[in-house]
Amino acid sequence: MNKTIKGKAFVVGNDIDTDQIIPAEHLVYSLDDPEERRFYGRYSLSGVPEKESGLPKGGIPFTEPDRFESDFKIIVAGKNFGCGSSREHAPFSLQVAGAEAVVATGYARIFYRNAVDGGFIIPYESHDDLLEHISTGDELEIDGELNIIKNITTGKTFPLRKLGDVIDIVEAGGIFKYAAKHGML
């Protein structure tokens, strides 16, 4: 499968940890209760310090305080995105908020595996440091077939690393659903 994702960028910096993605005080909501699980979307990326967020002065929240879904579909990050604890809630919260992809120069291994294994969000890796080329609010398009990300706002295009089976696993809903679909279980 090849996926095209279009949407607004939300730019964060380097070394964004899982407690910044979903702060521990917001882990009190049930993952199984649809009314409670949406709070993970409301508080997603709420722990990112303004100085690390790459946001305009005064900041723009990933999710507005009175909403449960974000207007931003693509998160752009630097190196080591998702470092910290092995919290599965981190990629889950991004998915619940409506994000479809993270594009980073590198990931903490556990975040990457949790994102893919849980089928939560597509973790693209960029060859270039996109923090210098993309701003929060820019319109982006990711072409999964051509392995590129285009900043529609500026007209610049950047290469992405190939995903292999990752996109199929995420789109199947996680590693176990993928394995069942392909007769591996």
DSSP string, 112-129: HHHHHHTT--EEEEBSS-
The stretches of 7-49 forming alpha helices (DSSP H) are 18-21, 34-42
Provide the sign of the torsion angle of the four alpha carbons 24, 51, 136, 125, taken in this order. negative
* 89 vs 102: CA distance, rounded Å: 15
Note whether 107 and 81 are within 8 A (CB): yes
> Which residue segment(s) compose the domain that 149 sits in?
4-181
pLDDT the model gives residue 2: 58
- Assess whether pLDDT exceeds 60 at residue 55: no
CATH number of the CATH domain containing 13: 3.20.19.10
Q: How many domains does the chain have?
A: 1
Q: For the segment 85-116, what is each residue's pLDDT rounded down to a tens digit?
A: 888 999 999 999 999 999 999 999 999 999 99
